[in-house]
Structure 1
Amino acid sequence: MPNADTDFIRRLPKAELHLHLEGTLEAELMFALADRNKIKLPYPDVATLKAAYDFDNLQSFLNLYYQGADVLRTEQDFYDLTWAYLQRCADDGVVHVEPFFDPQTHTQRGLPIEVPLQGIHRALVDGEQKLGITHALILSFLRDLSEASALQTLESAMPFRDRFIGVGLDSAEQGNPPSKFQQVFQKARELGFHVVAHAGEEGPPAYIREALELLQVERIDHGVRCTDDPDLVDELKQRFIPLTVCPLSNTRLKVFRTMADHNLMALLDQGLCITINADDPAYFGGYLLDNFIAVRDALGMTESQARQLARNSLTASFLPDHRKDEWVTRLEAIAVND
């Protein structure tokens, strides 16, 4: 079967399940918001800033990521950030998004939690009305902070619980195991929220097991280190636990040396529920379609595999079952040569 054509991939209805809104802050928008909010950036121009996107590991990226997020000060800033992302989604054939945002990144610098929540929510609603892209926002805790801080964040978000559908766990993985956050995830589950967690990006397979067993997550964000534990791979397959994999991110952060070394297609061929996502596209060189194309070019993704990856993204989403079925039916009707 031939490799998947770019137009074919674009036309497949897709959901994006692993995307940090703060990570969609393009350099040009960062400078525009800095100017709007009278903030001086430590870079003289866009080109110099982009030249700094040469990361050695996750932490080197996070240092710049948090620095960039400081330009987000008002509800309109968060609206503009989210709206720009949704416009890219429309171009890439994305029909549903479940983005993350990190409230602690903003509350720690003095913003009330309602500022990002309201701005993001307005843009997501407009995205559904104007672009036809449905949404389900996920509030993520920073794992390098304390569980007490996460619990306080969850409590402060409760007046706005209609704005988000689940909670997640992200930021610096090494030395911050999922077991550190058992209480806040139990509380979130009791409140009826979906739960997901980053695990097995730079951290060991044991972190994936902790996320499954102690946090009782429904999806693993990243999870590519699972191959270091064959029994874990079998468990993920048998339980059909989705892995929200981010290929360009993994290569830019040196999780894999090159895209040709990535294991996502091997995991897909083993029957795991693999999905492709963009993670922090402004910093890693591509949005969702770019990630599909990078995988195709390096790993020979076929039309059948592209369709399966798109199907996985829809079935692994938190959409109601009837909406999943509707999108999957549309997906199966997409012809290669339309």
Structure 2
Amino acid sequence: MIFVFIMEWNGTVMLSFGGFVEVEKYGYVYFLLLFPLYVFILWCNCIIIFVIWTHRNLHEPMYIFIAALSINSLLFSTVIYPKLFVDALSNEQVISYQGCLVQSLFFYCLASSDLFLLLAMAYDRYVSICRPLQYSTAMSKVTVRIFLTLAWFVPVFQLTLITVLQSRQKVCNRTLSGFFCNAGVTQIHCTTPIYLRVFVLIVLANNAVIPMFLIVLTYMKIFVNIYHSHGEVRNKAISTCLPHVMVLIMSIISIATDIVIGLQNTVISKKVSLIINVQVLVYNPLINPIMYGLKMKEIWKHLRRLLSCRSHVERKNIGAV
């Protein structure tokens, strides 16, 4: 507590995380569970990026968007997990108010970016399946660059404005209900002005509701087109769309879970809250590489070659010894 008092005396408002369950007793257990998970997340996403980067036949819009999702997963995990490691091994689970706002900003920027990328992928599948003759024109390199730029900069611009407005609010409660900074930050403010609430709703609509609606609408059109197709065309279309739909479902579950987290201090127990928080941290960074690595045939083909080459080299080295 002395550290907290010193930081407050220096003008920095310190917040404490209340979402850990008996961290003083199970801190090393938290670390031993989270650290391998973080390494696995990094490994999975780096492998996907490496495979797509090094194989020219994967330099297509769909695979570029998949690589962008993996980059987001790497950033998302790096924003959250290292701080968790420090907190698990520390006596005080604290963060500065400014640091909390920055972590929350990155958390939602990357989550929103994922939705925009999924929307771009839905459009890519729509053009490929429903307008195949227009694909090369509609999904040109310029179009891909525009999609990537919008996916990364639109959320940053809007959510940065919210963060700046939040930073000017007075803090009354210094205990966060979770163990990382997300929507729970709004609960520590004394009051939330009506203009800020309206702006948050507008940004939520722009960065979550509208993209999800457009994604669902696009896939409805795709599946109507697939329904009227026959044989191999239908099977191929379903196989390419299935991973996207599954990732979309998991993303919606993750967003819904985050809403629950925002209400957790008055609705659910601390242990259930911990489980929900962990699910949010696992779904986003792991679902993309697992789904696309296993379900996309071209990626899986290169992954098998890469893994078989590695195992062959290892056997050769062992034989040489």
- Please indicate, yes or no, whether the TM-score normalized by the shorter chain is above 0.5: no
Please tell me whether Structure 1 or Structure 2 has the larger radius of gyration of its CA atoms. 2
TM-score (norm 1): 0.24
Higher strand share: 1
Larger relative contact order (CA 8 Å, sep ≥ 6): 2
TM-score (norm 2): 0.25
Higher helix share: 2
